[in-house]
Structure 1
């Protein structure tokens, strides 16, 4: 009884507060992020434009009219560096809604963190990295299914080993409902996606 009475009560860590945001240029998005963080936001959730999601440079003819339209345009390390200028990534929890090009965008994020002096093992965040859902509902894929799934697996294995606090994948099923799936179908597809990814990871020789 006395031990319980003297035990110090501890509050749970507050939930991460962040807004899914990103628009036009990396500089404009950076200004928005810093403004939101100054007002009490505790994490970041990055929206990328369609060319970035599908692997096109912003000056490609197929990117015309879509650059910076539904998210921020990130084409190279300089863009990623600008996106997170004056934002300490070692202290941040960053969600990146990116699938087909998740390995490249994560690599750029890690490179910027290293430039800031942040150990990548301490980084926290999420890459959506759910390519099967893209095939089923959105169409923003780059490679055929098998190589795409292999890239998803590679991100999982890399982050598990080198960035252990990072969530390498987020099974995102609500797009399936938007594409016409019933709630039962949505859940079924989500579980099937998770099983397919886990089976692919488990079959890799580097899995232990």
Structure 2
């Protein structure tokens, strides 16, 4: 497996806003924690833009349907990586960066680390290659903070129940590689990551996220 690429400085800044990504394997509780964080921030008076990848735009919803709900084997690994990168390029250009330029807090359910973990690590396309593709697509935009909800393949499958998309249907070995891909990224840039045990109580997780986010809000006031 290719070693993850060391982090690079964003080619273009994040405007006046704050950019937070919530990452983790399927069933980690990303949507729950994104919603809790957004609700708290709105209560504090901040303008929050909730979004996700793929599917944060009309184009993204079309691409999401193609890549996640097609038949197994219907999308090759490299095509999968390119589709997610195309979605990310459009998402950043039309949703994320404009909101950041307005000084908003953007919370995205998944961002480029998901491509590195799923396509780079689990699909064995290489951390460096997949990460470089997404950085090019986004003109180097990286989150101020990435919250990584760490979940085992077994627990993630149990939480998902009986409804699975094309990636969720992959074997536990695939999801184990996804998990390790995320952890490899976090280990290379610990100051920009908050790694939490997703098996913990959702309320306690939300408290830990708020504690980490609070110091980042100073420049928005």
Do both proteins adopt the same fold according to a TM-score greater than 0.5, normalized to the shorter chain?
no
Smaller-chain TM-score range?
0.3 to 0.5
Higher relative contact order (CA 8 A, sep 6+): 2
TM-score, length-normalised on structure 2? 0.37
> Scaled by the length of structure 1, what TM-score is found?
0.39
- Structure of greater Rg: 1
